[in-house]
Chain A
Amino acid sequence: MSLFSVNICFEMSAFVVSALAYARLKGTPLRLFPFFLFFITLAEFSGRLMIRVFHLHSNQWLFNITTTIEFVFYAYIFESQLRDPAFKKGARRFMIAYPFLVLLNLLFVQGFMNFHSYTMVVGSIFMVIFCGLYFYELLLNPLEGALFRVPMFWISTGILFFYLGDLSYDILFNLLQKYATNTSGKLFQNINNNLILMLYSCFIIAFLCRRNPRKSLSP
């Protein structure tokens, strides 16, 4: 049984491209992407290892941690790229409050060994909001040249589609768990796989963009 999947290959590719582009990303908040992508690839690989090699019953706890880190990382990226002090402040508050919210959820509501779907929905909605705010700022400052050459545009597009696409599943998660069959499971798997491909493809394009990403703006 293969430990590799198309998803992991795309995650690894994104990591390799970000590592190769590191010299250009240096000095910008995007410099953390190679480390983040390495962590994500490792987590994904470990998750598969747990199920397929060690035959553990669940690896949900691992993804509860990684998705929380993902949300905080993306919020940090948005915080550094947004211009409006109020938006930046919102992103900072999210970065602090979200891990606590997940912790409370895992401790008192959904349990550590179950997937944190409630806080996942909250995090996804916030990601969509941050993407919306970033696009709103692009509307207000339209003199930044071609959008296709703005790395953060690609990153935001990937994040937007990924979390919007997964939102239905996260909202219906408990219901699906109750009435789960292969059909819905495979359906989600298909949707999720395609969204992952899209997310990491967008990241790869972002790192290959010629224009240097915007340096962090202090409020």
Chain B
Amino acid sequence: MQKESPEIIITLIAGTATFLLLGALMISFLFLYRRRHRRHLQEKEQLRLSYERELLKSQLEIQEQTFKHISQEIHDNIGQMLSLAKLNLATMDIAHPSTLEQKIDDSKKLVSQAIYDLRNLSHGLSTDYIADRGLVKAIEHELEMIKKSGDYETVFLMEGASYHLDSQNELILYRIIQETLNNIIKHAASQKIIIHLHYRPQELTLTIIDNGKGFDLTPLTDNSSFGLGIKNMHNRARLIGAGFQISSTIEEGTSVSISVPVGTPIT
């Protein structure tokens, strides 16, 4: 029998080890890929759940805001007008036809105004407020309400051909706008509010500017309650795949900018 070459044995061992290693790599890759895929699915599901939660929260907040506005409107405006009309009716004197006619006219005007205001209010009661009216109309309405208070000058600017975003995304965007406007009213001490909507084919950019006292952005990095409100808006923007930027100069004002990519899949 010929002497066995050690190279053959080495080749046999090395070959077997290499092939087995190849098999182990295949199996390991399969497991790693599946684990990564499962994690990706879990993250996706978590994102979807958090999106739905946020959507529900936004709907509730908008509803709450609407109810607050309605109760204020009924108490301060419609209630006053109807009380005045009632007073007119109560003080009518048939013996004085000249004042009687005036009072009837005034009462008619007051009741008409009350009906008009009630009709306006009833529009706001719709549960699909944003979906029905669209984002542009909703912003215009919001600004109109602020302007009506007499404390603010409001400007609404729009560039490009408007289009509808996904209705749920519009709702969340609208909620961010409401929150920003609330912050301006509560803290900014400004006189002027500008909302600028820029519709581009790939992106919608929304900018809200005020000429208030501004604020220091540094505490936003803390977990202070001051920062939490803005972080909340930032999180909401992230949920709809939007970019969120805020800049502020003391004594000059604040600008909030949100860029929403068009057609970004949410889930």
Q: Mark A residues whose CB is within 8 Å of B.
A: 128, 131-132, 135, 138-139, 142, 147, 157, 160-161, 164-165, 167-169, 171-172, 175-176, 178-181, 183-184, 187-188, 191
Q: Check A142 against B33 for contact (C-beta < 8 Å).
A: yes
Chain B residues near A131: list those with CB within 8 A: 26
Q: Mark B residues whose CB is within 8 Å of A.
A: 1-5, 8-9, 11-16, 18-20, 22-23, 26-27, 30-31, 33-34, 37-38
Closest Cβ of chain A to B2, distance in Å, is: 5
Q: Check B15 against A179 for contact (C-beta < 8 Å).
A: no
Chain A residues near B3: list those with CB within 8 A: 179, 181
Q: Check A183 against B9 for contact (C-beta < 8 Å).
A: yes
Closest 5 CB pairs of A and B: A168-B15, A164-B19, A181-B4, A168-B16, A164-B23
Chain A residues near B16: list those with CB within 8 A: 165, 167-169, 191
Chain A residues near B31: list those with CB within 8 A: 147
Q: Check B12 against A178 for contact (C-beta < 8 Å).
A: no
Q: Check B12 against A168 for contact (C-beta < 8 Å).
A: yes
Q: Which of A139, A157, A161, A184 contacts B12 (CB 8 A)?
A: A184
CA distance A139 to B33 in the complex (A): 7
Q: Which of B8, B20, B33 contacts A164 (CB 8 A)?
A: B20
Chain B residues near A164: list those with CB within 8 A: 19-20, 22-23
Chain B residues near A172: list those with CB within 8 A: 8, 11-12, 15
Are A138 and B4 CB-contacts (below 8 A) given A161-B23, A168-B19?
no
Closest Cβ of chain A to B9, distance in Å, is: 6
Q: Check A147 against B2 for contact (C-beta < 8 Å).
A: no
CA distance A183 to B10 in the complex (A): 11
Q: Check B26 against A181 for contact (C-beta < 8 Å).
A: no
Chain B residues near A188: list those with CB within 8 A: 12
